[in-house]
């Protein structure tokens, strides 16, 4: 199970790094990588590992909802392609800035 977790983390990270401007694929590869981190908690086989999975899952859900809310907000505006990082950040700087600041809070 540990090897599967490591493989998932490596695949997710390398896949996400290869995505230049496609946010959908970036989020998909990010999910693959984060599944590896949760598998490590399961592989630990103790209470601390399971508590870590629950905390990680809660934080991951909040961050993912924030990312998709930002994409939906940008999609409502038709001047930029929300699936392109360059187009979204440059065309709607206030939305991108709000999303970035809420992610770190």
Cβ distance 71 to 41 under 8 Å? Answer: no
At 95 the pLDDT is 61
The mean predicted confidence, pLDDT, of the chain is 79
pLDDT reading at 53 higher than 90: yes
Give the DSSP letter string of 55-90.
HHHHHHHHHHHHHHHHHHHHHHSTTS-TTBHHHHHH
Indicate whether this model's pTM tops 0.75: no
Contact 88, 80 (CB under 8 A): yes
Q: How would residue 96 be classed by pLDDT, with cut points 50, 70 and 90?
A: low
């Amino acid at each position: 199970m540990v090897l599967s977790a490591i493989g998932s983390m490596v695949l997710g990270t390398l896949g996400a790094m290869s995505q230049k401007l496609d946010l959908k694929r970036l989020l998909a590869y990010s999910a693959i990588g984060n599944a590896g981190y949760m598998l490590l908690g399961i592989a630990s086989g103790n209470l601390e590992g399971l508590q870590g999975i629950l905390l990680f899952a809660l934080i991951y859900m909040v961050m993912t909802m924030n990312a998709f809310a930002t994409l939906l907000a940008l999609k409502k505006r038709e001047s930029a392609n929300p699936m392109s990082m360059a187009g979204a950040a440059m065309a709607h700087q206030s939305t991108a800035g709000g999303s970035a600041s809420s992610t770190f809070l």
